[in-house]
Structure 1
Amino acid sequence: MFVGFDYGSANCAIGIMQGEEVCLVPLSGDAKYLTSTLYAMDRELIAEEVLKQLPTDQKAEYTRLRSAQLSRAASMRRELDLLPHEQAVFVGEAAVEAYLEMPDEGFYVRSPKSFLGATGLRDNQIALFEDIVTLMMMHIKAVAEKNMRENSVITHAVIGRPVNFQGIGGEQSNLQAEAILSLAAKRAGFIDVDFLFEPLAAGMDYEASLDEDVTVLVVDVGGGTTDCSMVKMGPNHIESADRSQDFLGHSGQRIGGNDLDIALSMAAFMPHLGLGSLMVNKLPVPSKPFWNAVAVNDISAQRDFAALNSKKLIEELIKDAQQPELITRLLKVQKEQLGYKLVRSAEQSKIALSSEDSIDTPLSFVHAGLHAKVTEVDFENAITMPLSKVESLMREALETSGVKPDRIYVTGGTARSPAIYRRISGLFPDIPIVVGDHFGSVTAGLTRWAQRVFA
């Protein structure tokens, strides 16, 4: 069976064709989206779980490649007093629940796709992300096959990819990320995979509804990346097996919903933990530890914040702060690794602000009774810089293509925000804007394309 596979920064989805219509397969209960998260009681246990689920013909080679990790996993299982078949690695909502229950005791990664093109990754880090993606793909493939008609086996997939996985690193970063995804898909049991730019996929789903040829600027604001593509669409293009001539220009950068959540965390939550307060010498408290606490899509920042030196730095700040009781809250975040919880709370506030003017967000996991009121204006002010980058990407797509679009098609989960829509519509007020399925359009386009490339 040929499917579209949206391995997203925020959510994952699988699409199949039922007649002429695309159908998304339930992946988490009745939900058609699986949260892009993984939690392990220890990171070494991830390799052990991959080995358990690998096809027999791949086990020997994988055991050779991961011999050190597997040895450490066996030791860690004994140390944690886990039974041989006791679950120690969780995916999706189960991972979120496990993390919220034990935030400081395990290994939690949100939006692993955001890291795949990171520059400077060591071999052991690349191996870890290969295993994370493999395990997630194994889970998604197994659940999708179980929820489809009897005896259905997924063999081929078109996987969506951003125009650029990383803001820096260029094509080398893209090749690294694609290599990780390709290897993970093979280990997860896919016979063959192909890749398609996510904004192009989103546009293909929109194209199915067109009755005339138009030039469309597709703006896909996702969880981890924003991609813009100028595409010729319509009845005279839709049946073409090679769309390269219709793809007029593109731009993309690792800027998306995650960055908005981080920006909102800094602006709305961190002042309650001491950001912006003063030291006894009347100098402001350094902002770096606050940033590192919530920069959940930055490997080096997370590593620095978890290190002993960061703990010592915060303890020194407490001694020299005019309001030490606030900095003490930051110390709790460091000790208990609560950064992801803060960013998750910001994400929930962002979602609520799509329909509310203000939201009162509880932060009692940091300090009893603590809460932060966040208004729509606060959110708009907090995300000024990320949104400026989105605007720059739209302008870049126009410049590289050399044409003006007839329409702008906006999609991606993050694009639900009224604040983002206002910025996009204000940039080109004379061009009609079409708002697509914020979550399903990319998967639908990938699914349609899969039927062509693998047929």
Structure 2
Amino acid sequence: MRPYCGIDFGTSNSAVCLGDAAGLRLVPVEGEAVTLPSALFFNFETHAVAFGRDAVAQYLDGYEGRLMRALKSILGSSLIGETTQIGAGRKDFRSLIGLYIAHLKARAESLAGQPIEDVVLGRPVHFVDGDETADQRAEAELRGIAEAQGFKNIAFEYEPLAAARDYAEGLRREEIVLVVDIGGGTSDFSVLKLGYAREILANAGVHIGGTDFDTRLSLNTAMRDLGYRSQLKSGLDMPGLYYHQLAAWHLINFLYTQKVMSGVRQLHHQAADRRLTARFLEVLETQGGHAVAARIEAAKIALSEAPAYVADFTAVSHGWTREITREALMHSVKSDVERVVATAIACVRERAGLAADRVQTLFMTGGSTALPGFEIAMQAAFPSARLYYGDRFSSVASGLGLAARARFGADENREI
């Protein structure tokens, strides 16, 4: 039997589900872990490329090199055709994403014991909001990248529909389900009638996810310690562009140029409080942006359970710590959460043509469903629905494996 796989290439984390004669199973992609942080680290000292947790660890351990995260965010943007400095040379973003996809493919092939040519790739409902042309271009880019890594038969499935497959496997009754997939880069929804058959009633999505929540929290906390929203000597507000870039995972590396450094030094000399901008310069000069972002992400995760968290930035700048509260996080992401919930409501009411009380189950998946306040907001919008949590990090991959089995598996399993 020829092997096949489903790949959930995520903004923050990725996973692979392999199907072959032994059946369907999630692939150990880093040690025994079945999820892999979507990160690459080019280690200039060892001249090797690290992936996932190892990539982040090497960066935080202080190895000289270049960390890349949230590469999925590049798809559908103008950046996909550009190059970025990696050591003495430059690499284009297609090849960087390709390296990561190739690594996932290699892990699956190692488990299968033979090459894999058939794949179902997950995709958000919208790579790009409100731009169908850019959305189609993003899918075409991802298809081309997958083909370049040796995949020959490539199909796509919306990520929330894949999660629904995973949920429907164990369903023994008919019900209306709203799949809520809040990932690192997008929030996606599917309304389905599941049970004896699968009927897709509506799909919707918005380009807001966990990395956006990181950005909002960073701007309201860490970036304030670097001069964001402070004033210049002239009384004008400090320009915010560089801070927005430093707070966004996929834009941090664009700050490490002489042109940007020159611009920040000029702002430093014009700043009313130069202690803050001096720390900003220190972060850029030591290329500590990803370390700051990692601690903000850790704070966001910790605040799902704790009322407060002390973010320790001392490895970036001596003496720099900040207490971040759950209230600060919820305030920071309030408008984003409202947009996400509004998209879910519109998916049910406008696209599916159903009243909110017709939804019987909210199937929640994606790491960002753990965001404080999000569950409460969704329950308020759909008060009649019960909550059901799938595996936050692997439900989509498992569903993509089921989709791959239906498309590429043994004849008796194939969809007609």
Residues 64-93 of structure 1 show CA distances to partners (whole Å, capped at 9, x for unaligned) of: xxxxxxxxxxxxxxxx7x8xxx63333222
What are the within-5 Å matches in structure 2 for residues 46-445 of structure 1? 87-101=47-61, 106-119=65-78, 121-122=80-81, 128-146=92-110, 148=111, 151-168=113-130, 170-237=131-198, 246-298=199-251, 303=254, 305-398=255-348, 399-404=350-355, 405-445=359-399
Whole-Å separation in 2 of the counterparts to 1:309 and 1:155: 44
In 2: Cα distance, 1:353 partner to 1:306 partner: 30
Aligned to 1:2: 4
Maintained 8 Å contact 1:293/1:334: no
Cα pair 2:211 2:248 within 8 Å, conserved: no
Distance 1:388 1:211 in 2: 33
The one-letter amino acid of 1:377's match is E
Equivalent position amino acid for 1:132 in 2 = L
Normalised TM-score (structure 1)? 0.81
On the 8 A contact 2:18/2:108 being kept in 1, the answer is no
2:88 maps to which residue? Answer: none
Secondary structure at 2:249's aligned position in 1? coil
C-alpha contact (below 8 Å) 1:295/1:302 kept by paired residues: no
Q: How many Å apart are 1:198 and its aligned residue?
A: 0.1
| 1:106 CA drift (Å) | 3.8
Higher strand fraction (1 or 2)? 2
Counterparts of 1:176 and 1:198, CA distance in 2? 18
How far does residue 132 in structure 1 lie from its aligned partner after superposition? 1.5
Per-residue CA deviation, residues 110-142 of structure 1 (Å, 9 max, x unaligned), is 1211111114753668x8232122211221222
Unaligned runs of 5+ in 2: 85-90, 410-416
| Unpaired segments ≥5 residues, structure 1 | 42-79, 238-245
**Structure 1 pair 314–130 and aligned structure 2 pair: CA distance change class (3 A):** closer
Secondary structure class of the residue paired with 2:340: helix
| 3-state SS, counterpart of residue 383 of structure 1 | helix
- Partner amino acid for 1:369? G
Distance 2:297 2:266 in 1: 31
CA contact (8 A) 1:116 1:129 kept: no
CA shift, 1:14, in A, is 1.1
Contact kept in structure 1, 2:181 and 2:188, CA below 8 Å: yes
Q: Which has the higher helix share?
A: 1
Q: CA offsets, 1:262-296, max 9 Å, x none?
A: 11111121121122333334443232221122223
Is contact 2:341-2:378 (8 Å) kept? yes
TM-score between both structures, scaled by the size of structure 2: 0.88
- The CA RMSD over aligned residues, in Å, is 2.5
Q: Secondary structure at the match of 1:3?
A: strand
Tell me how many residue pairs correspond in the alignment: 398
Q: Which amino acid aligns with 1:454?
A: F
Identity %, equivalent residues? 31
- What letter is aligned with 1:93? R
